[in-house]
Each structure stands twice: as C-alpha cells, then as structure tokens.
Structure 1
C-alpha cells in the first residue's frame, strides 16, 4: 500500500501571545469530538503538484483563506498514527472569522444504510494560544507548533 502524503499550512499571529490557526473536521463522526481532533488545514497532493502549492490550495479550499504570496517557514514532516505523512509550512496572517469551506465529503450515514449525506470537510476554525492548541490538536501535528515556536524564538534573538 502506498504511503499517503499531504501538505498543509499552519497560519499564525502574534498579539502578545503566539496563536495558531486550527480547523475541526466536519461530519457525523467528529460532531462531539474536540480535544485531539483539531489540526492544520491540509490535504493530499494532486499529480504533478508541489507540496507547498498543495498546502496553499488546501488552505483556500478548506477555509477560504488566501495565503499565496506570503513568506513561508518550512516545518518539515510528521507521520500520523494512520501512517499518513504530513508536510507543513507556517506563515503569519489573520482570519476574518468567516469560514468558507469548499471541500465536501459524501458518506453513507449510518453505515450500510444506503443513506448518503454530504457535509463540509471543515465545520469549525479559529486561532488558539499555544496552550489551548496543545489540548485541541492531533498529537502528531503538535510537533509543527513546537517547531514554529523554536524557529520564531531564534528570530527574536
């Protein structure tokens, strides 16, 4: 089985404290799940697409936020529990508060019912302090926030 690779963007801002932008997956499975289920906007790479371009595209598709033209910081990769390899970049920016998700998923719900439901891939988003993000985030993706903190602290010296 081929390893699934995806790319994403960790948007951040600094107003006294570092805050990172996270999304929560939509759909019935994630409806009542919070801690450990938030992550960065990310998705699979299209054939012939480079990783950063895929991350920028996924950010726009999943949130409506346009980040092309920004300065990006490579945060490397992580391997999630499901085996997926995630490549990430960070960039500084803000968000209007309006979530515009253009990515939709169709699932059979309940399973084997013959009833198919279409829902947004992302149902919530927001900026969180590092402390809040630690509780909310997918455990593997937390490494991206730690790497960003380390890089930004070196830039401030």
Structure 2
C-alpha cells in the first residue's frame, strides 16, 4: 500500500486527573472478533475520514458517532499520529474532561455473522467504555496507540 492510500483515523482521548495520576477513557471494540479479548481490544474512540475533512473535525464527529455524546469542550492537546500494524494512520487529540460511561449510547455496525451464514447482525462499535489508569490502559490498548499515553503523560507532568 502506498502512503497516499493509507487509511486515516482521528479521535479524542479524554483524560481526567485523579489522586494517583491520570485516567483515560477508552472503548472496548464491539463485535464477535473482540468479544472474548481484552489485551489489544481497546481503543481511543476514533474513526476513519477522507481527504476533504480536517482531522480535528473528524475526531469530534467520530466521538459523537462512537459514543452517542457530543465531544466535550476543553483545550485540545495534539498528541500527533501513529501508524498501526494494519497501516492505518491515527491522529489523536487529548481533552481534559469528565464523562459518565453509563451515558454512552454507542453507534453500531452490521456484518454477516457467522461468516457464510447469510445472516446480517448489528453490533455496537464499542461494547463498553471505561476510565482506566494509564498502566491498565497500556496493557489493553492497541499496541501502536500506547504511544498516545506516553505523549499524554509528558503533557500532564
């Protein structure tokens, strides 16, 4: 895949300061492939965007689509981009905010499941959303996205 053809995603990483440091809001990916996985099955709320949409606008739109809530106000902290093992380039901003995960109404996607069955089922984009301390987040986050935690920690110290 040529760099020009790489898919791009943008997202918002919410963080809050707690007594022992910082917690981040992550989502566990929905659908049958991730149902029984923990490590590598969590992600910053994000989504793909095209070349005509600014990454910041996409990050805010995708937050709304994935969590069903408006993106919080707050000073965005650019955390840059990383390239995941699938070649997707992910750009993330951190925003200091608090949010009750119980208020999340995740977006959904459809896919044939089980494969080859002819049955199309609907699944949540994120099947749960939780505040995690950075050590726990580092253990379960998609590997390439852990770089965003390093960058956030440099910002908050």
Same fold (TM over 0.5): yes
Give runs of aligned pairs for residues 101-116 of structure 1, distance below 5 A.
Answer: 101=106, 103-116=107-120
Q: Secondary structure at the match of 2:144?
A: coil
Question: What's 1:65 paired with?
Answer: 69
Structure 2 unmatched runs, 5+: none
Question: What's 2:43 paired with?
Answer: 39
Q: Secondary structure at the match of 2:33?
A: helix
2:15 alignment partner, one of 4, 12, 24: 12
How many matched pairs?
152
TM-score (norm 2): 0.92
TM-score (norm 1): 0.92
Write the distance in 2 (CA, Å) between the matches of 1:20 and 1:104: 22
Question: What's 1:100 paired with?
Answer: 105
Cα deviation digits, residues 69-108 of structure 1 (max 9, x gap): 421000000000100000000000111222211x221111
Question: What's 1:134 paired with?
Answer: 138
Structure 1 unmatched runs, 5+: none
